[in-house]
Amino acid sequence: MNDHKAVGGPAIMLFMDEQQEIPEDKTFRIGDLASEFGVSLRTLRFYEDKGLLHPRRAGNTRIYTRSDHKRLRLVLFGRKVGFTLRELKHLIDLYEPEGSNMRQMRAVLDKSTRQIARLEQQRTTLDESIAELREVVDYILGRMGITAQPAIS
């Protein structure tokens, strides 16, 4: 039997309600989120312009909710694994607070499966390129009479 609560690293925690420890009425200023997530203020404004975050305004101050906090976490994860902002907006917009979110889960499953295939192909291409470059380096070192390969970082 699968015990979904016992499974998972940081990525899985994104899809669980890990924000229970954040009070529902907790708010964040733009600098708070930028600092916590290691992004610039410009990045947060850009995500707002793209409809990924929805802060309310108090004068010129942006006030982010717990929901915005979670959305930002999801956006940054999605960007890390190569999703486009358009894909992320679509996936996030499928969320239904009171629903089963099966449509969202199916869409995330589909996008994730496709992205895994793309990333695996990129890895194959990178491995081939690295192998070819190592051959070039070995050949040149041999032609130069150098036996010990310099450290490559």
- Taking the C-alpha atoms of residue 120 and residue 118, their distance in angstroms, rounded to an integer, is 5
Tens of pLDDT, residues 27-53: 999 999 999 999 999 999 999 999 999
Beta-bridge mates of residue 114: none
Query: Nearest CA to 81 among 51, 45, 108, 44?
Result: 108
Q: Is the pLDDT of residue 19 over 70?
A: no
Q: What is the pTM of this model?
A: 0.78
Instruction: Kindly list the domain boundaries of the chain, sorted by start residue.
Output: 22-81
Q: Is the Cα torsion angle 44, 46, 52, 54 positive or negative in sign?
A: positive
Predicted pLDDT at 61 = 94
CATH topology of domain 22-81: Multidrug-efflux Transporter Regulator; Chain: A; Domain 2 (1.10.1660)
- Taking the C-alpha atoms of residue 71 and residue 92, their distance in angstroms, rounded to an integer, is 7
